[in-house]
């Protein structure tokens, strides 16, 4: 007579959990919609900000990206639309992350709020910052919000990277993003303190922002396509006895 006993609890757990890996629940339709919306907002935001920076009357690579949003610039509305789109993208990406990545989601939400603040408070001409230039309160608020937003995104990469529940795909994307953005962020901060506004800071800032946007877009697309269940050759299935 065939043995039709039910799989033991350990065997049932093996069907759900990869040894040494996460037990990731399938992404809900709402999460996938949020991820797809985040990807769209990132693309729209990057295009709008790029148009404002390239077509605006700014100083090119020698200045900050934020100078495209100065009130006197004819492309200031285009720049602000792009910044607000990026702020929305970070909030949507935070909502799309799995529940186990709550730290990364919180960092992205904080980054979205800081991005919105940087778009709402414009800097004066040249976006001056200490220690080389006298700055107004608006300059300090705008600059501080922009720096905090970028730092939140970089720390969110690390939060995903060091959380096994993220799954291999998201962790690989986070590893690539962190490997490039961490040294860039350090170089930008050091250059702002030692050199000040100029070509070096302008180029490094643009590369860092491009890396953060690329990571956000890649992560949003990965979340929108299908859940990262961590399956593979090592995944166990319940045994059947016929």
| 176, part of any domain | yes
pLDDT recorded at residue 226: 62
Q: How many CB atoms lie within 10 A of CB 223?
A: 24
In a domain, 6, yes or no: no
What are the two backbone dihedrals, phi and then psi, of residue 184, each rounded to the nearest 5 degrees? -65, -45
Give the structural domain span for 48. 28-225
Put simply, whether the predicted model's pTM sits higher than 0.85 gets the answer no
DSSP 149-192: HHHHHHHHHHHHHT-GGG-HHHHHHHHHHHHHHHHHHHHHHHHH
Q: Is residue 236 part of a domain?
A: no
User: Is residue 12 in a domain?
Assistant: no
Residues 6+ apart with CB under 8 A from 118: 66, 83, 142, 145, 146, 149
Tokens 């390239």 map to which residue?
54
Structural domains counted in the chain: 1
CB atoms within 10 A of CB 12: 12
Helix axis angle, 199-225 relative to 168-194, nearest 10°? 170
Residue 238 lies in a domain: no
Question: DSSP letters along the chain, please?
Answer: ----PPPPHHHHHHHH--TTS--PPPPPHHHHHHHHHHHHHHHHHHHHHHHHHHHSSS-GGGS-GGGGGSTTSTTHHHHHHHHHHHHHHHHHHHHHS-GGGHHHHHHHHHHHHHHHHHHHS---TT---TTTS---HHHHHHHHHHHHHHHHHHHHHHHHHT-GGG-HHHHHHHHHHHHHHHHHHHHHHHHHHHT-SSHHHHHHHHHHHHHHHHHHHHHHHHHHH------STT--------
The reported pLDDT for the residue numbered 97 is: 95
User: Do the domain assignments include residue 42?
Assistant: yes
pLDDT string in tens for the chain (242-residue length): 444 455 444 444 443 444 334 434 566 888 999 999 999 999 999 999 999 988 876 667 778 898 888 877 788 899 999 999 999 999 999 999 999 999 999 999 999 999 999 999 988 888 888 888 889 999 999 999 999 999 999 999 999 999 999 999 999 999 999 999 999 999 999 999 998 888 899 999 999 999 999 999 999 999 998 654 444 444 444 444 34
In-domain check, residue 90: yes
Question: Is residue 149 assigned to a domain?
Answer: yes
Rounded distance between C-alpha atoms, residue 156 and residue 96, angstroms: 14
pLDDT value at position 196? 85
pLDDT value at position 58? 67
């Amino acid at each position: 007579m065939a043995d039709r006993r039910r799989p033991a609890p350990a065997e049932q757990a093996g069907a759900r959990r990869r040894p040494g890996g996460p037990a990731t629940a399938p992404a809900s339709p709402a999460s996938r919609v949020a991820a797809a919306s985040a990807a769209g907002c990132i693309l729209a935001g990057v295009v709008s900000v790029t148009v404002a920076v390239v077509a605006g009357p700014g100083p090119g690579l020698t200045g900050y990206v934020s100078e495209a949003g100065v009130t006197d610039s004819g492309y200031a509305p285009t720049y602000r639309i792009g910044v607000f789109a990026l702020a929305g993208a970070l909030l949507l990406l935070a909502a799309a992350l799995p529940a186990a990545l709550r730290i990364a989601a919180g960092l992205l939400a904080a980054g979205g709020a800081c991005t919105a603040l940087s778009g709402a408070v414009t800097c004066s001409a040249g976006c001056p910052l200490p220690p080389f230039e006298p700055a107004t309160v608006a300059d300090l608020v705008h600059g501080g919000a922009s720096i905090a937003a970028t730092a939140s995104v970089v720390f969110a990469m690390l939060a995903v990277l060091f959380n096994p529940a993220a799954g291999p795909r998201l962790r690989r994307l986070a590893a690539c993003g962190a490997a490039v953005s961490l040294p860039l962020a350090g170089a930008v901060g050091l250059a702002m303190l030692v050199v000040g506004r100029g070509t070096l800071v302008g180029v490094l800032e643009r590369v860092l922002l491009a890396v953060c946007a690329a990571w956000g877009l890649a992560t949003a697309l990965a979340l929108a396509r299908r859940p990262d269940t961590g399956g593979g050759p090592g995944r166990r299935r319940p045994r059947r006895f016929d």
